[in-house]
Amino acid sequence: MAEFPHLSRRGFLTRTAAVGGALSVSGFLAACSKTDSGGSGGGLDKLKKQGYVKVAYANEAPYGYKDGGKLRGEAPTLHARIFKALGVDELRPTFSEFDGLIPGLQAGKYDVISAGMAITPERCENALFSEPEFISPTAMLVKAGNPKKITDLASAKATGATLAVMSGAVEKSYVEGAGISGGKIKTIQKQQDGADAVKGGRVDAFVLTGISLRWLAKTNPGLEVTEAFVPELDGKKQYSPGGAVFRKGSEELRDAFNEQLKKITSDKAEFARLLKPYGFSETEAPPADLKTADLCKG
């Protein structure tokens, strides 16, 4: 299974994505027409008639990836449920490098991006996004038993804990914003480096999204993940939300998707049950007042 080699491309690890962007996990594109209903477009009626929807994935776990020849992950699982409710039973996957997802969407190569893409104002200029599918609260990877009993950045500061953050990741700004600095912050290059630093006692915790850390903990016995929390930076909560992306002109299809999406995200227990295999919990269910229209404004 894939890890997270390209999260910076996703926007998860950028301030733009964390503060004003959302992880837009999949986007619909209606073929080449300006509206859902015309000509060669990929509107809902056409998708129902053909019985399938073309989806693009970037092979990045746990968002959208191939495993044993099958498409898995948060986005394909959620989208399969939503499309089935809309009368479309099959997802047909196409691989794309992450940077090529939106251009492929615009070119009509597929109908939906299932790849954990961040919603940013810049991307909103080129595509439509659903309401948030999930948020990405922060957590900490610690040794089993959590020796220092740290639960958030305030408690980490109070106990004098040393924290690892990924190079270029937004978590460093969260840690510094909590008043932790200097030798108490260690920068690492890869997620596994963070896990190794905790296991080796070089740091007390590795700070990243709860989603990423729960996935990482599966392959690192002796470590555990703290309960996720939403940090604040300059007085703003850092949700790092994700949603679905549609081609411009696909408002009708997006709205139909949103109706079904709301049924899942408003039921936190069902949301967690559906996505638990990929490291998601009720904590990752988006709050009802978090709106894509606001995220697209920045």
The pLDDT tens digits along the chain (298 residues) read 333 333 333 454 443 334 333 333 333 333 333 334 333 345 899 999 999 999 888 887 888 899 999 999 999 999 999 999 999 999 999 998 878 888 999 999 988 887 767 676 888 899 988 899 989 899 999 999 999 999 999 999 999 999 999 887 778 989 999 999 889 999 999 889 999 999 999 999 999 989 989 999 999 999 999 999 999 888 888 888 888 888 888 899 899 999 999 999 999 999 999 999 998 999 999 999 999 999 888 7
Q: Is 187 helix (H, G, I), strand (E, B) or coil?
A: strand
Coil vs helix vs strand at 216: helix
| Residues pairing with 90 in the sheet | 52
Q: What is the CA radius of gyration of the chain?
A: 19
C-alpha pair distances (Å), 202 with each of 121, 140, 179, 225, 264:
38, 15, 20, 17, 41
**Which residue from 114, 120, 80 is spatially nearest to 96, judged by alpha carbons?**
114
Which helix (H) or strand (E) segment holds residue 119: the answer is strand 117-119
Whole-prediction pTM = 0.73
Query: Which residue ranges form the domains of the chain, and what is each CATH number?
Result: 7-135+239-297 (3.40.190.10), 138-236 (3.40.190.10)
- C-alpha span between 49 and 208 (Å, rounded): 43
H helical segments located in 200-266: 210-217, 251-265
